[in-house]
Amino acid sequence: MSHVRLTDAEDNIVDIGNCRADFPALAQNVNDHPLVYLDSAASSQQPAIVIDTVAEYQRHDHANVHRGVHTLSQRATEAYEGARDRICAFVNAASRREAVYTSGTTESINLVAQSFCRPTLKRGDKILITHLEHHSNIVPWQLVCEQTGAELLVAPIDQRGQVEADTLIAQLDDNVKMLAVAHVSNALGTVLPLPDIIREARSRGIPVLLDGAQAVPHMAVDVQSLDCDFYTFSGHKMFGPTGIGILYGKEAHLEKMPPYQGGGDMILEVRFDGTTYNDLPYKFEAGTPNISGAVGLGAAVDYLQSLGMDRIAKYESELLAYLTGQLQTVDGVRLIGTAKQKASVQSFLLDDIHPHDLGTILDRQGVAVRTGHHCAMPVMDFYGIVGTARASLALYNNRQDVDALVDGLGKAKEIFSR
């Protein structure tokens, strides 16, 4: 890996910005303008090393995993399991038995809801989430509540889009059987006050699941130091492929949990009078997995580590401050989500222009932002708005991208002021 261009500390900021050249998709014109990609919170672009690693695997090494004695099957297994080891190291899992490949964050959360919570959940029990969750950290819990008679509780947010640790902690009681919260909000960029929340939940014996989809691409994540029970994330938001993600779970939990799906690869022995299940993590990986996706995710992890998560976090933090500051220079911009602790995301409105119209006008100038409710309708209801425009940053963005966005907003004002 030769992606690190560190010369000295002074150059750190510039260096990360240079990694833009590693991403082929960014070197194109869209609607006759250089692409300005500010939608990485929806899905990030992939560096050439990820694209090439997946292609090389497909060209030379593909076979089914864990099945054959032949050479390709062994190569595929090594690539698949080797990626798992590197992903474990990336989030500091204690053991490879604790990292289950899934199709992404959504499946990871559904797996925990159905396999960990459903068997023991009963009427009178509660699951606590927050008001800023993505739909994928709401609906799986609604489903399991419907199935068991348990109740879904929602911790409030304030006008800045922050979750107050004390307010949430006050909602923790003996009936709460799961606390499921975002690490970073996808719609608002809020970083949740996890240490305080998790410490209190731990002391009460309440298991904690973190939706880490918007955190892992932007900051160092250490599941042991967070001391969460489950941590979930998606490959395609961290410069890897779609259709692959991770469920990290503490081994003691995963051991007790029944399989989520039945099929090949998750069994030791199948008889018609009973089947014994495979060891962790394979118990939860029924069927032929997304091998190339896992290989790509492993390459993405290597890429992120070559840059260094702390450097990425520092670079993005300064760029986010620049983005927020520049947006505030535009007359008529209303920022949505102004938490003290934020990462990578700024939602906003411009005058009374509908976000959808704003998105179209920006797109015509090559600027890609997400518009709408961002799969977080309760957040939009909280602010009494139908949606926002959202600029989300990643390590490949730079100040020129922010300037292009601001220029685009000027164009939108021009069109709508006729």
8 Å CB contact between 228 and 198: yes
Cα–Cα distance between 42 and 25 in angstroms, integer? 15
Binding letters toward other proteins, positions 174-213, x by CB under 8 A: ----------------------------------------
Is residue 418 a contact point for other proteins (CB under 8 A)? yes
Is residue 373 a contact point for other proteins (CB under 8 A)? yes
Of 193, 276, 241, which is closest to residue 50 (Cα–Cα)?
241
- Number of amino acids touching other proteins (CB under 8 A): 23
Q: How far is the CB of 364 from other proteins (least distance, A)?
A: 5
The token pair at 86 is 């590197």
| Contact region with other proteins (CB under 8 A), list: 66-74, 98-106, 109-117, 363-371 | 363-371
Backbone phi and psi for residue 130, each to the nearest 5 degrees, phi listed first? -120, 170
The token pair at 279 is 């060891």
Q: For other proteins, which is the closer residue by CB, 279 or 414?
A: 414
Residue with tokens 């090594």: 78
Q: How far is the CB of 375 from other proteins (least distance, A)?
A: 11
- Listed in sequence order, the DSSP H helices in 92-138 are 105-111
Is residue 135 a contact point for other proteins (CB under 8 A)? no
Which of 353, 399, 406, 413 is the binder for other proteins (CB under 8 A)? 353
Q: How far is the CB of 373 from other proteins (least distance, A)?
A: 5
Active site residue 145: no
Q: For other proteins, which is the closer residue by CB, 8 or 32?
A: 32
Query: What are the beta bridge partners of residue 37?
Result: 368
Q: For other proteins, which is the closer residue by CB, 112 or 138?
A: 138
Which value, in Å, is the radius of gyration of the alpha carbons in the chain?
22
DSSP class of residue 259 equals: P
Which residues have a Cβ under 8 Å from the Cβ of 232 and sit 6 or more positions away? Answer: 102, 105, 108, 109, 112, 209, 210, 211, 212, 213, 245, 246, 247, 248
Q: For other proteins, which is the closer residue by CB, 51 or 353?
A: 353
Q: For other proteins, which is the closer residue by CB, 12 or 365?
A: 365
Q: How far is the CB of 33 from other proteins (least distance, A)?
A: 7
DSSP-assigned states of every residue in 143-159: HHHHHH--EEEEE---T
Residues lying near other proteins in the complex (CB under 8 A): 31-33, 353-357, 360-361, 364-365, 371-373, 377, 380, 386-387, 411, 415-416, 418
Which residues are tagged catalytic? 375
